[in-house]
Amino acid sequence: MTLSAARKTIFISGGASGIGLATAKLFASKGWFVGLGDIDQAGLAAAVSALGTDNAMGVALDVRHPADWTSALGAFEKATNGRLDALMNNAGIARYGWFEDIAADEANLEIDINIKGVINGAYASLEALKRTPGSTLINVSSCAGLYGASKLAVYAATKFAVRGLSESLDIEFSRLGVKVRCIMPWFVETPILDAGARGTNKAIRDVLKGANFPVYTVEEAAQVVWGSLEAPGLHHLVGKRAKDLRFAARFFPNGIRKQMKAGLAGS
């Protein structure tokens, strides 16, 4: 397969489902060639089949391992003649429950995927991004990177880290001609909502439903990713609830904390 030199390209980690797949579909519809990296081989095959091999390719990728990144991006860049207009660090997991109830190995898995995976992706893609004019590194953080929440302590820590990394790289990469964007969704309809607390049958989606909190669609998140390429600024929030939380976290941080602690009685 030989791509037109003018055809733009994006590589997405965690691209077999959720926000990653929705973003792949949107970018492909805009004429971009899409690379999908994931550990879910069946999901990758289904995604590429849906998008068409003229528009997408799938490669095995465990974001925890730099060698996997080297192999995956090497295969993608071979197909795109070295062009990489955007790299989207999207792969992530969540574990839900009180801090002391989540096993240390599960917390470390969150750290390995959500933080180390993003750092690995930034390292592996930088040379290709540098040689592609107008390129963008897109990191998916979360509203959990705006304000900590109970039963999501380590997850929130990882998303604060992604936010901090993005803010630092936004400064550094400006000298290299590479833009950085940090996507910060409120809760989106993805498998992460099925994460359950140990010893209960209550998942994140149950808590959201009980509190009448909105859940946004993956398509809404994908539109924010698309818009972030041309819109100014580093942080791009998904959903009105995300924007409300950013405002409250900035101006009323103590009020949020008191409200959260008051709500623990029914947890």
Residue 147 annotated among the catalytic residues of the structure: no
DSSP state of 89: E
Which residues face 235 on adjacent strands?
182
- Which one, of 171, 184, 191, 85, lies nearest residue 140 by Cα? 184
Q: How far apart are CA 255 and CA 118, in angstroms?
A: 32
The span from the CA of 84 to the CA of 134, in Å, is 10
Amino acid at 228: S
Angstrom distance (rounded) from CA 169 to CA 178: 9
Tell me if residue 88 falls in helix, strand or coil: strand
In angstroms, the CA 36 to CA 20 distance is 8
Q: Which of 96, 123, 147, 155 is catalytic?
A: 155
Tokens representing 201 are: 């049958």
How many whole angstroms separate alpha carbon 254 and alpha carbon 256?
Answer: 5
**Quick one: which H or E segment has residue 238?**
strand 235-238
Kindly list the catalytic residues.
155
